Chain A
């Protein structure tokens, strides 16, 4: 994905009134409902501090916790796999599936599976992957990617979904009734659950102490995917682990209330292994794929490491003025909104997604609502610096946006502010001859492409002050 893609996609999105209306309405609703969930400020502050402490503690002990998690899961009978890259992740899936001759998959909602492009990779091998979360199912029918990490089909209205279902689902009559649309999906997908060879899920929290994979959901598709097929494969980013089971309740409370303003989701699944002797159902084999994909590099920098605290609630995008206007599809990578603006450039590289940290007014709305206190605005500023640093650095692709013209301009600016005579000369020249600067000159042309050219005052502030005899205090 080219660096300019966000800019172009955002411009196109801004010109789509239907898309903007769909997002505006949805985000307004989510913000209002979330605020009501955290009406008690003291409770919010205390819970948020606890959530941030849980996540910070996890990251401080990350390598040890991952080893403990692996040991405990193995003891419970779960197979643990490690993937450094997207390709390794997909290869692990293929190996497991081919060992079981599994060709029909049902998948619960998982952003990490989007990150590795699992569906695409498996479909290339002739394996059918059915997205079971209703929102994911809708966008899969339309060959789209999620536009929101919690509500993947938020960009569509019910008329669009009604049209889609009537075209893509066999024998489906056109209806805009939400209950009947939901019923149609239920009918199709229950068949798929019953017939599937394997189920795939994500993980919201992995507990090292007990070797438990925690998964929250409302629909029951997560339960179906992890209960009915003989084989269950879970996939998670390596940052998802916590030390103890008792750390789960505060994280889930922050997650569900921030995400969809629910005190809890309909189902909280705590999975601690495959079917035990005598049990009548549940998968016979459970696998966990732990994905790095650049996370260990993010982890290496003490400031940027805070990116990995994220519990993927989506509150930052719900409150982001940029996201609300351009929607999730404008962003490269799979994580849109503020978290995407700090995570995607670090995973894909500054050379690929280096313009993302600039897609922000630094209004701080995301920082105020983040349930685990990620300093998103500071990280955006840090990444802007990384993009133009003169030499490669900690972040993948750092320095790739370095521009000599810009660098020299700032050097000149700094010099003028250090040398009074030069400052006076510069301001004198700009006030007298600034009008002659061509609007198409570098650095100025981006501004003048959509705005009128700024006009310099005919006298500097210093000159005006002298004329008005304002004493220099």
Chain B
């Protein structure tokens, strides 16, 4: 449709004005000057308001508490990404009780199983945003997109030292524009909908539950 392209751009160019673009003042989306405590408190409050669950593992290793939590909740298995830092620790140090399943092949090879049988997936995060209560997820060859999407329970590790005040601050300080992944995600809770009489219901297409594990370092 080269003709359509030429015609559309031609019409737009013919009409484009020579006005000076208005200035943009980004102060309103800039860092708020919040303390680390306030950032964490706010992120937690915002995310809990939309049914996110938290497991506070600051000052201790997260493997044991996670295992206890999974057993307590009756989660039958945990899918992990073996090439990530979290995946390597799980593979090396997991003490059993809940079976680990390695996401080590293309999705197409086990799509049926993933959709029909998966219970939980664990991922890392690149930080959090306090203002909106959001997790930042990069997906890549090591951390597949479906790991945080298809299983009904998504577990995400969040380093409390990687919190930002605002979305704008996070993208600038992490220099996203210099190289975006295939899929960059902000996740702010479990899947939800209000399409029936504006009544909130959780777990419509994505995960029904989101557990955030707070750690000092991953």
Contact = CB atoms under 8 A, between A and B. Distances in A.
Interface of A: 26, 29-30, 43, 46-47, 49-50, 52-54, 56-57, 60-63, 66-67, 81-84, 88, 92, 132-135, 138, 151-154, 157-158, 161, 178-179, 181-183, 185-186, 189-190, 193-194, 209-210, 212, 218-221, 223-224, 226-228, 238, 244-250, 252-253, 260, 263-282, 290, 292, 296-297, 299-302, 305
A218 B192 contact: yes
Contact of A267 (B11, B168, B182, B186): B186
B182 A66 contact: no
A426 B94 CA distance: 96
A26 B193 contact: no
B196 A43 contact: no
A311 B195 CA distance: 20
Nearest to A91: B1
B206 A220 contact: yes
Contacts of A47: 28-29
A219 B183 contact: no
Interface residues of B, number: 77
A266 B190 contact: yes
A61 B21 contact: yes
A182 B203 contact: yes
A412 to B, nearest CB: 38
28 contacts: A26-B198, A46-B27, A50-B25, A52-B22, A57-B24, A63-B12, A66-B12, A134-B196, A182-B201, A186-B203, A212-B180, A218-B193, A219-B193, A220-B191, A223-B149, A246-B177, A249-B166, A253-B132, A267-B206, A268-B185, A269-B183, A270-B184, A272-B181, A276-B140, A280-B144, A281-B107, A300-B14, A302-B17
Given A81-B1, A92-B1, A253-B29, A265 B182 contact: no
Most A C-beta atoms less than 10 A away, residue of B183, B186, B199: B183
B204 interface: yes
Given A219-B206, A281-B146, A272 B182 contact: yes
A193 to B, nearest CB: 7
Question: When A and B form their complex, which 10 residue pairs have the shortest distance between CB atoms, in order from nearest?
Answer: A220-B206, A135-B195, A278-B141, A281-B107, A268-B186, A264-B132, A220-B205, A46-B28, A296-B11, A300-B15
B149 to A, nearest CB: 5
B182 A279 contact: yes
A186 B204 contact: yes
Contacts of A210: 176-177, 180
Contacts of B201: 178-179, 181-182
B21 A299 contact: no
A98 to B, nearest CB: 16
Nearest to B9: A63
B134 to A, nearest CB: 6
Contact of B188 (A221, A253, A265, A302): A265
Nearest to B7: A84
Interface string B103-147: 101110001100100000000000000011110000111001110
Interface in B50-69: 50
Interface in B155-211: 166-168, 171-172, 176-177, 180-199, 201, 203-207
A218 B191 contact: yes
B90 interface: no
B195 A133 contact: yes
A266 B84 CA distance: 24
A62 B9 CA distance: 9
A60 B21 contact: yes
B188 A63 contact: no
A227 B149 contact: yes
Contacts of B29: 47, 50, 249-250, 253
B145 A281 contact: yes
Contacts of A82: 1, 4-5, 8
Nearest to B110: A280
A255 to B, nearest CB: 12
Nearest to A180: B201
A260 B198 CA distance: 10
Given A263-B46, A269-B183, A56 B206 contact: no
A299 B105 contact: no
Given A182-B203, A249-B29, A268-B186, A56 B22 contact: yes
Contact of A224 (B24, B149, B177): B149
A186 B206 CA distance: 9
For B14, B25, B193, the residue with the greatest tally of chain A CB atoms inside 10 Å of its CB is B193
A282 B115 CA distance: 15
Contacts of A302: 17
Contacts of B145: 223, 227, 281-282
Contacts of A29: 198
A218 B203 CA distance: 10
B16 interface: yes
A220 B22 contact: no
A66 B9 contact: yes
Given A82-B1, A272-B180, A219 B192 contact: yes
